[in-house]
Structure 1
């Protein structure tokens, strides 16, 4: 099971923007004027567009330098996360409830780079049930659907068996999350807590749409209803 992070589990937009501004200054020597909107996209894509809209021609070393600077800037601000950010309603209870399902492993499929995803969830005590080693992250320069398949491959290496739409579930708040699940090969639970409204999530093809995560029983029922056990003899 793969969780989107921002606006699904946490909202730390103020700190994220501040870290981006610092990373932009470190890499370019200029102040950040405009930050490209996230819209469910990976950090690597946001970085390239942010450089472009601020009149910076992208060079080969820009992405790795920016990713490194962003990680450092965010780490420096991690103590602000709990004060200036918020945990989305029901997130902790939902993670705990899903963890009680037999055979379920929880990880993340997020546009955020790995180190920052860890900081975001740890700040609110949401990391306990997450296996960060098998997730998909924003520093990996792939579309989110491909990140999903990368994460499935990591899960196969770790646990054996084949992970498909029959035993993989994505939970996210944007139509981009839905599209990634549809293309990448996963069932999809949409939560209308962030970027997209419930009707938009349904229209995009989400299998189940919830208003938020506040009813843990509904989350568990949705996960259980969309999955079947992994065939460890396959593949």
Structure 2
């Protein structure tokens, strides 16, 4: 049985908020020549969306050149701080054990579906030894200017090309912490395991339509059972 499991990164697997904010401030200054006054909230959104809103709320009239310049600056600013990630950030409880346990499922491919740009997503997971369990080449990232649900379908297409199996709603699971992640899965027709480790409560995640809601990732057997349940053809009941 072939399965695709896509993980959100921030507040699902890691929390590196302090370093991310500093990198954004650095990149903003590089691109605009001005200090950053206000950073747009993340709330499960892509870096491309956050960048445009941050420029707007700080009074910058955007052009076609702003996004690629900001992405390049953000990648450089974050990379320069990568050695601080394990000091000023943290791996979310149970994340490494959950990734490792899911990786043992028959036919599973694990990657990420994240608002973070690809280079920064790799730094975030590598800092905590999580990179060994995911294939970054088939993921979806914040520099790709697509709605997140479309990005999930893009990731499915990449798996088809690289691994040779078709991904659809019967064998694709998204694991994330926000109601926006839930909406992404529902629009794309994938199953959703929501983890109440971010800013959305368990109740909000259930009401948004998550198939299964976990309080955290500290029970790897529970995570594996949830993935197996949602990718087994005869058993796809909501939890």
TM-score > 0.5 by shorter chain? yes
Using the alignment, how far apart are the partners of 2:199 and 2:48 within structure 1?
19
Choose which of 67, 80, 85 in structure 1 pairs with 2:89.
85
Using the alignment, how far apart are the partners of 1:119 and 1:96 within structure 2?
18
Show structure 1 runs of 5+ residues with no match: 230-235
The list of structure 1 runs, each at least 4 consecutive aligned residues, that deviate by more than 3 angstroms after superposition, is none
Choose which of 123, 138, 148 in structure 1 pairs with 2:152.
148
Written as runs of structure 1 = structure 2, the 5 A alignment for 1:13-92 is 13-92=17-96
1:160 Cα deviation (Å)? 1.7
Query: Paired residues, what number?
Result: 229
Structure-1 residue corresponding to 2:139: 135
CA distances 1:66-113 after superposition (whole Å, capped 9, x unpaired): 000000000000001000000000000000000111100100000000
Written as runs of structure 1 = structure 2, the 5 A alignment for 1:1-235 is 1-228=5-232
Using the alignment, how far apart are the partners of 2:101 and 2:38 within structure 1?
40
Using the alignment, how far apart are the partners of 2:208 and 2:160 within structure 1?
28
What TM-score, normalized by structure 1, do the two folds share? 0.96
1:161 Cα deviation (Å)? 2.7
For the Cα contact (< 8 Å) 1:149–1:185, is it kept in 2?
no
CA distances 1:45-69 after superposition (whole Å, capped 9, x unpaired): 0000000000001111000000000
Show structure 2 runs of 5+ residues with no match: 234-239
For the Cα contact (< 8 Å) 1:110–1:136, is it kept in 2?
yes
Using the alignment, how far apart are the partners of 1:99 and 1:126 within structure 2?
11
